[in-house]
Structure 1
Amino acid sequence: MPHDVIMPALGMAQDTGLIVAWHKSEGDAVKTGDVLFEVETDKATMEVEAQADGFLNGVRAQAGEEVPVGNVIAQIGAEAAAPEASAASAAGPSPKLPQGASVIMPALGMAQDTGLIVSWHKNLGEAVAASDILFEVETDKATMEVESGADGFVAALLAEAGEEAPVGAPIAIISPEAPSNPVQLSQSSAASAPKAEAAPASANMPAPKPAEGAKPAPKAPAKPRADGRILASPKARRLALEQGLDLGCLVEAEHPQPYHVADLEVIKSLPATVPHTVFAQSRRLTAELAQDGFADFASWAVEAAGLSEANALLAGLAAASLGYETCTVAVELLGETRSFAARGSQLADITLAEADASPDILLRDLRMSRVTAVELGAEACPVLTLTRFGPGLLITLECAADHLTASEAVSLLSEFAGRVEQPLRHLL
């Protein structure tokens, strides 16, 4: 039976992932553990491995495409499929749309042909009332919140946030009963899906009402966050730092966030009068520990659990402090750097990362050096540095202001300092 390859979740709040590149082509033989493709979000980049032996068939998304988390993007079969069969597999049978009341893309102006879905306010399967706000739509003239128009459950969403849909086209279905198999489609796939069964006459949709106080808005605005943080993938941050480019220029130019590698070309195309290399203000915080609890913990871990890789233990404490569901931690010890992938809350889930993986956080262990304090400035990701402080430790966090908010920086340093001082907290 074919094994489905799905878009993984790299974070709790992740909705989609950007396919950066495929490492295998259609019809290639693959083995468990082979890297299939590279995915990027605003939090991390990751190489996704094959979970079965076989042949890569039915590739449904290409490099450069954003894919919703959980969507099937390819299959691994026992044998290479013929091009025709592979294409059919990739297309797959169009899901039958559930019965219910259709929600259509409203017209906000006489010359409007399409509307941009800014965001959905309700999720698949969620109960809604007729007056509940279902989604927000934007044209070049105005923005508007659209009500559900019927009591029931969200049985189908036929467009994704960020997509444009023609005026009058159905973009959601509200069913009278909780759906057993809710349907999520994009506009391209919704066009070829079987039509929904006619809704009962009592479920006719009323005309949507403009949101109170709605004002004309520019298309695809890029408003700065109140906390000043810039949303960008780690890879984009790293390359921007290497090339001396300021991501803040994109905010000034109202370029939509989050930023990816391709957006760096936009910075280069900005007028010469716009400064490209003024970096965001950096943050530097320190924590003093009266004692170093990590050394004894590392010895205990060897004897009790067979965990002999001290760098992996440090990476696990840093990953837990950062709070991401999955992340890459680079540990630098006397000039040698090793990267670890953390995919869970247990220290046993810490494994070596790919050599070219972009770290979410860098940990410098200078306990064996003569350095007692550091102030090196922000780098492409937040940096935690451990130095000796009498019988204890001094932990320094350095990062750019757009990496972490002030409260996030305080939380990260506090959590990590607490775990280094009392590492057994991590196991509780």
Structure 2
Amino acid sequence: MPHEVIMPALGMAQDTGKIVSWLKSTGDPVKAGDALFEVETDKATMEVESPADGYLTDVQADAGADVPVGQVIALVSETAESSGAVAHSPVDTDAPDDAPLPEGKAVIMPALGMAQDTGVIVAWHKGLGDPVAAGDILFEVETDKATMEVEAGADGFVAALLAEATESAPVGETIAIISAEKPTNPVQRSMADGAISKPATTPDQTPKAEAKDEQKSAPTAKQVSKAPPTKPTVKSADGRILASPKARRLALEQGLDLNRLVEAGHPQPFHVADLEVLRALPAQTVETAAAPSHRLTAEVPTDGFSEFALWAAENAGLKDANAVLAGLAAASLGHETAIIMVESFGQSRAYQVPAGAFSSIVEAEDDTAPDLILRDLRMSRVSTVNLGAENAPVLTLTQAKGGLSITLECAGHHLSASAAISLLSEFSGRMEQPLRHLL
């Protein structure tokens, strides 16, 4: 089955993107992660990667064309032959329903990452009929990597809400409509019930009704799960718990153990709504032995990173050495996108590291739960560390015999033994020869 290549949203108020150039030609073989084309908005220029292995076919727009966000512009097919399929625009609002949709600007589910297929609506900040400005926050969206506030993108009134809070919507799907005039018949729909039109309600009616129902009976996995009970459980290949940063942070603050959801067979990745399922689980009566923690140390004969950081600053414009360090750590972790917390000189800074060029690394919110903590103690007198496991795997750099000593400490549920060995080996190799990452 062909995989669609869509125009991504590089900004919350972006309507279109300009194709700067195609990096692959029609019929070329591609691998998942290969850069297909460059897209430019008024805020940034970024390479868009292939979503799967196959052949680039059915290219719908040439270099220099402005394409609406979410529109399909090519396919990645199993063969090099064009399928003849015409790309469609996801902003088409002609869906079967009981009432016509009002006219206005379509608000789509944005792509917060190149490999994102869906997003979960955490909450709507505006209700039906509410006036909005282009810069007003309309809703919050959550993926397995980040939670972000999304702006309305246009002045007007909320004429339609086509998905409910906690529901998952495909990237590019129209989930709201902003009309220029105050709507006389605003439309409320749900993704779960096949977009059947519902009577318009004010923003505070539905939450109150739900709160009343919750008082009658405790929530169950079937009631609040974001997926049907028959959905197969998704697990990380390395044994790591897949959960959004916000869900991890709230679980930590509230003393909730995500391992209990894993033991119950609840589908991963976990989102904020899954914490209600966790609270509803029966209290544990038998204590289970925790997975053993891991502590490994690698000796690197030479510190190749210092010279590489200077070269990157002078020749590649990468002035933030900590961002480069985070890029090497994320590449060793092997995630599509990772949050790396770098601690040095008594300060901490979080970075969001996507797959690809180091120039795309950006700072993350300070309260974002990291996938990996990196402590740079090369300038201190500390020579060995044994601090124990924390909320995420920790890599610590210290000086040793003209080179480096790198220590990995993590809990057993963060990484399996083989994954811990792989992470430390990969990162040690990159610190000794950073150019390995570029080959």
TM-score range, shorter chain: 0.5 to 0.7
Instruction: Write out aligned runs for 1:136-285 (5 A).
Output: 188-189=193-194, 229-274=240-285, 279-285=290-296
Cα gap change, 1:5/1:320 in structure 2, threshold over 3 Å: closer, same or farther? farther
TM-score by length of 2: 0.57
> In structure 1, what is the equivalent of residue 148 of structure 2?
47
The one of 297, 322, 327 aligned to 2:308: 297
1:384 aligns with 2:395: yes
Query: Is 1:291–1:421's contact at 8 Å kept on the other side of the alignment?
Result: yes
> In structure 2, what is the equivalent of residue 6 of structure 1?
109
Q: Which secondary structure state, in structure 2, belongs to the residue aligned with residue 386 of structure 1?
A: strand
Structure 2 residue runs of 5 or longer lacking an equivalent are 1-14, 16-104, 198-228
Whichever residue aligns with residue 246 of structure 1, its letter is D
What displacement does 1:387 show?
Answer: 1.8
Query: Is 1:321–1:415's contact at 8 Å kept on the other side of the alignment?
Result: yes
Give the Cα–Cα distance (whole angstroms) in 2 for the partners of residues 256 and 318 of structure 1: 28
What displacement does 1:259 show?
Answer: 3.1
Query: Is 1:39–1:47's contact at 8 Å kept on the other side of the alignment?
Result: yes
What displacement does 1:349 show?
Answer: 0.6
Whichever residue aligns with residue 29 of structure 1, its letter is A
1:63 aligns with 2:74: no
Give the Cα–Cα distance (whole angstroms) in 1 for the partners of residues 286 and 423 of structure 2: 31
Whichever residue aligns with residue 407 of structure 2, its letter is T
Cα gap change, 1:364/1:36 in structure 2, threshold over 3 Å: closer, same or farther? farther
Whichever residue aligns with residue 8 of structure 1, its letter is A
1:64-92 CA-partner distances (Å, limit 9, x unpaired): 222234433346x6x755244763xx86x
1:345 aligns with 2:356: yes
What displacement does 1:263 show?
Answer: 3.6
Give the Cα–Cα distance (whole angstroms) in 1 for the partners of residues 266 and 249 of structure 2: 19
Whichever residue aligns with residue 423 of structure 1, its letter is P
Query: Is 1:222–1:251's contact at 8 Å kept on the other side of the alignment?
Result: no
The one of 104, 115, 119 aligned to 1:17: 119
What displacement does 1:38 show?
Answer: 3.6
Aligned residues: 302
Give the Cα–Cα distance (whole angstroms) in 2 for the partners of residues 36 and 324 of structure 1: 27
Give the Cα–Cα distance (whole angstroms) in 1 for the partners of residues 366 and 157 of structure 2: 24
1:335 aligns with 2:346: yes
Query: Is 1:294–1:423's contact at 8 Å kept on the other side of the alignment?
Result: yes
> In structure 1, what is the equivalent of residue 371 of structure 2?
360
Give the Cα–Cα distance (whole angstroms) in 2 for the partners of residues 84 and 415 of structure 1: 60
Whichever residue aligns with residue 194 of structure 2, its letter is S
What displacement does 1:402 show?
Answer: 2.9
Give the Cα–Cα distance (whole angstroms) in 2 for the partners of residues 409 and 329 of structure 1: 16
Whichever residue aligns with residue 283 of structure 1, its letter is H
Give the Cα–Cα distance (whole angstroms) in 2 for the partners of residues 71 and 337 of structure 1: 37
Q: Which secondary structure state, in structure 2, belongs to the residue aligned with residue 404 of structure 1?
A: coil
Give the Cα–Cα distance (whole angstroms) in 2 for the partners of residues 51 and 347 of structure 1: 31
Q: Which secondary structure state, in structure 2, belongs to the residue aligned with residue 330 of structure 1?
A: strand
Cα gap change, 1:249/1:343 in structure 2, threshold over 3 Å: closer, same or farther? closer
Q: Which secondary structure state, in structure 1, belongs to the residue aligned with residue 309 of structure 2?
A: helix
Greater Rg over alpha carbons, structure: 1
Query: Is 2:395–2:407's contact at 8 Å kept on the other side of the alignment?
Result: yes
Query: Is 2:300–2:432's contact at 8 Å kept on the other side of the alignment?
Result: yes
Whichever residue aligns with residue 361 of structure 1, its letter is L
Cα gap change, 1:414/1:270 in structure 2, threshold over 3 Å: closer, same or farther? same
Query: Is 1:320–1:345's contact at 8 Å kept on the other side of the alignment?
Result: no
Give the Cα–Cα distance (whole angstroms) in 1 for the partners of residues 123 and 196 of structure 2: 27
Give the Cα–Cα distance (whole angstroms) in 2 for the partners of residues 226 and 254 of structure 1: 15
What displacement does 1:275 show?
Answer: 5.3
> In structure 2, what is the equivalent of residue 29 of structure 1?
133
Cα gap change, 1:81/1:323 in structure 2, threshold over 3 Å: closer, same or farther? farther
1:314 aligns with 2:414: no
Give the Cα–Cα distance (whole angstroms) in 1 for the partners of residues 138 and 404 of structure 2: 39
Give the Cα–Cα distance (whole angstroms) in 1 for the partners of residues 271 and 290 of structure 2: 17
Give the Cα–Cα distance (whole angstroms) in 1 for the partners of residues 348 and 419 of structure 2: 25
Query: Is 1:30–1:54's contact at 8 Å kept on the other side of the alignment?
Result: yes
Cα gap change, 1:246/1:187 in structure 2, threshold over 3 Å: closer, same or farther? closer
Query: Is 1:221–1:255's contact at 8 Å kept on the other side of the alignment?
Result: no
Whichever residue aligns with residue 315 of structure 1, its letter is A
Instruction: Write out aligned runs for 1:126-145 (5 A).
Output: none
Give the Cα–Cα distance (whole angstroms) in 2 for the partners of residues 36 and 191 of structure 1: 21
Q: Which secondary structure state, in structure 1, belongs to the residue aligned with residue 194 of structure 2?
A: helix
Whichever residue aligns with residue 188 of structure 1, its letter is D
TM-score by length of 1: 0.58
